[in-house]
Structure 1
């Protein structure tokens, strides 16, 4: 309902108004503007200014959006079971062209000196898993879950950066990837769609096209395809490295 950008613009009075609305949404949607002004000890002008800051033309539109938000929170979405998600993914990706793409990327990873995994949130957890899995198959890897971690160019020389992002649109991730790319690292991304910003700025992209699922603002899109792709890439990379180890 309220974005962090909007909240950052609030005055002290507007913060008080915001806190009251958050704690009494079910009551506010039936209030008149004068009633809310009395309850929060602010003027109607302050309320109208507050409504404008949250992209509403007036108090009536603000109450409508509040009601829609409540209805959205009350809805119980039908979640896709894991078996259906996996079957859907495998049917789309187990093709000859997809196999060739995985092999091509694995060959590039096998030649690199360093492998760095990047991800934020749930993708950060999988970045850690990917790093451990690759290291277990004799390709030592590191992971970064902090998008603001300072990185110096000498550490990215002859490196592969594997970036995990469901949407491929996270500003923090895109900024970090841009830095890595400028320092000469080859970018491999795993995203849900091939037309995302991250996919387009990557040297290589693997898109898994899982059906997007949300519960409120929480992204619940299955990560089963990501785990499969990470393990498949790791094993194929190991096979590409094997001749050099004999």
Structure 2
């Protein structure tokens, strides 16, 4: 699915191309980038910029996505559409822009004395997992899953708080994030979208932009896959410890 925040960033020409793609996806799948440019009377560079703004590496990547969306799905894919969303996330994550964001986050963590993970519910479970994973790599980490636990980090060194939240709007999480900021900690957010309170308050935000999935039996049951968050956390752990090792070698 195309994300509203991505679409809102399109200029007039890009929006024109996007409108044609949405209205004629099957026709577009058979086109080269030059065919499409000629059809809608824009330059190929306009289409390339459109692809980038929508989170794709290029025209071929966008066409692959369209074919995945509109081909007849197997029963397994119909049962779990989020696997396709996860596949598209992995493609976005491998772009240079996304990797640069991960590298910036890893640098913050490597330079910190401690990393504190914060999350509630499913995000709390992910935070506990991340803490164990980071400790296993050799990074000093702690976890907060209790919304009533006090935040006291002044005087214990350079702190980075990694805040996990699917919606980025949970009141208790936002309040804890504000406490961390007041205490002078750097904030890295991991949320589904960048257009949420938790991400906007963070020093550095990482989003995975999946379509939310809800339980058919329990309307409040959010079944949005956590696989992107797990991938981000594990990659951050490896990138961070690599930075720490490099810093140690430089100081020898």
Pairwise TM-score range, normalised by the shorter structure? 0.5 to 0.7
For the pair 1:146 / 2:146, whether they are aligned, the reply is yes
Q: CA deviation at 1:105?
A: 1.1
1:156 touches 1:185 (CA, 8 Å); kept in 2? Answer: no
- Please give the root-mean-square deviation of Cα atoms over the aligned residues, in Å: 1.5
TM-score (norm 2): 0.64
Aligned counterpart, 1:194 = 194
Alignment correspondent of 1:224: 227
Equivalent in the alignment of 1:104: 104
What is the CA distance between 1:82 and its match in structure 2? 5.2
1:172–1:156 CA distance, 2 compared to 1 (3 A): farther
CA shift at 1:186, angstroms? 0.3
- The superposition leaves residues 144-189 of structure 1 with CA deviations (integer Å, 9 ceiling, x where unpaired) of 1001101224366410000000000000000011001110000000
**1:166 paired residue number:** 166
User: What pairs with 1:176-191 in structure 2 (closer than 5 Å)?
Assistant: 176-191=176-191
Kept after mapping to 2: 8 A contact 1:187/1:202: yes
| 1:83 counterpart = 2:79 | no
Give the alignment partner of residue 236 of structure 1, picking from 235, 239, 247: 239
Aligned to 2:32: none
User: How far apart in 1 are the matches of 2:233 and 2:188?
Assistant: 11
1:126 is matched with: 126
Whole-angstrom distance in 1 between the partners of 2:186 and 2:79: 36
Aligned length: 169
In structure 1, list runs of 5 or more residues that go unmatched: 1-77
Deviation digits for residues 173-218 of structure 1 (CA, Å, limit 9, x no counterpart): 0001100111000000000000101100000010001110112111
Q: How many Å apart are 1:109 and its aligned residue?
A: 0.7
For 2:96 and 2:246, how far apart are their aligned partners in 1? Answer: 24
> Which structure would you say has the larger Rg?
1
Q: Is the 8 A contact 2:151 2:176 kept in 1?
A: no
Q: Identify which range, 166-175 or 97-106, moves more after superposition.
A: 97-106
2:148 aligned counterpart, secondary structure? coil
2-structure distance, mates of 1:152, 1:104: 25
- Contact 2:154 2:184 (C-alpha < 8 Å) held by counterparts: no
The structure-2 alpha-carbon separation of the partners of 1:99 and 1:217, relative to structure 1 and needing over 3 Å to count, comes to same
